[in-house]
Amino acid sequence: MTLTEIVSTAITQAVEEARPTIQRIDKDAAAIRRKTRKPKVTVEEAATALASPQVCIAGRREARYTIRTFYTIQKQRIRAENQTRALTELGEPCVAVAALANYYRVVEDAAKKWLDDFGKVDPVAKWARTIYGVGPIIATGLAAHIDPARMPNYGALWTYAGLAKAKWLGNEKGKELIHTIRKAHKGTKPSIGACAMLCQTVHRSPEALAYYLTRKHTANHSHAYATIEEHKPTWKQLTDWAILCPHNQDLKVLCWKIGESFVKHSADDKSFYGKIYRRFYELEWERNYGGLLVDEADRKMREAPVADTTDAYSWYSGSIKPQDAREYMALDDAGRAERLPQIVGKPGDGVKMLPPSHIYSRAKRIAVKEFLVHYFEESWRIVKGTEPPVRYTHKDLGYAIGAPPSNPPRFEYDPDKEAGE
């Protein structure tokens, strides 16, 4: 037999072996389609409800679940395609895996189309889609996760997105903190001082605690909430709040993706927030060279120390001199890997500085926070019809680098025009 005949026979045999699997997949998919109930809210109805100033909680939840499913399917599709590629290179049969990859791609495209249509009618999502580096899926994700009526200020949005200083203690540390507070504030029920101590320790506002008590432990599901004094919480309720994650993990992932996109397009003149990242990146390095981030390095080593065998330890411990650090950062990746062992001395020989990865994360986080500020302002004007509260400047936030950049071009929202389309 010739080589062509051998390959043809092998492919035919692999297809026949995989045929029962493919038929079973088709049969299961058809059964799922038959059993799937008709959704109570259609895409058009959910999208229209989301665009209305009257918030549609069910519509937002559906969008959140769809986005989560979209990224799960996307991950499975990438995994199946990688397996297909690897098996093909090894000469192994991969018909079934390739078929699964195609199925994943079809479902992924369908979910992408649904999310794209869902975000086209939301006015704030429309504004987000005009930002260079923010795609339709990210814009829809922001509209689905962020409820402007629940965000009284910029800090609340930053906390919800996981970009603030709010601490997530977890189960054990949260219970230990409540136990410590109970010892300091004796009584069968927590006092106002105990609640204030808890809020100060976890870097969260009393309003956040009051809102949690209103939503979780009363029948009031409106956006108005009572004060802590009116609730008179129990120690069990404070414990539940202390161990609760202060941010939305899916929204935090979306913000990470937004930051990576801004960095990717930072060299493009069209990228407004990419320029902000580049500007802050350079300013943070100047502060790092000048020894203005020594306190940050000490705090990092105190709260989350790194091993002395890592490259980051050389920066945090002050083993690198500023002039050597400037030369190091001017090199490419290959040159840095060769140069770093030559400039590392003993701890204290140089200046305590933040490593490049830390500076990168700080600058990226500032760019994302700037974007969320503008997103908050647009959503506030659309939902509440008034001007948003006075924003913080970077000097107020501890960055001390001057006034923030001007806002990008605003998306003008006309409800009458949108209703007529």
**CA-angle at 164, arms to 258 and 322, nearest 5°:** 80
Give the pLDDT band (50/70/90) at residue 409: very low
Write out pLDDT tens, residues 292-323: 999 999 999 988 888 988 999 999 999 999 99
Most confident of 113-117, 214-218, 248-252: 248-252
Which of 120, 102, 121, 98 lies closest to 110, judged by CA? 102
Q: Is residue 4's pLDDT more than 60?
A: no
Please give the span between the terminal C-alpha atoms of the chain, in angstroms, as a whole number. 66
Give 54-89 pLDDT, tens digit per residue: 444 456 777 888 888 899 999 999 999 999 999 988
Q: Is the pLDDT score of 229 beyond 60?
A: yes
Torsion sign (Cα): 157, 160, 163, 169:
positive
Q: Which pTM does this prediction carry?
A: 0.73
Instruction: Write down the pLDDT at residue 206.
Output: 81
**pLDDT tens digit sequence for 199-215:** 888 888 787 788 788 77
With CA atoms as reference, report the closest residue to 150 among 236, 42, 63, 248.
248
Please answer whether residues 408 and 197 qualify as being in contact, where contact means their C-beta atoms are separated by less than 8 angstroms: no
CA separation, residue 359 to residues 30, 148, 323, 409, 420 (Å): 51, 31, 17, 29, 48
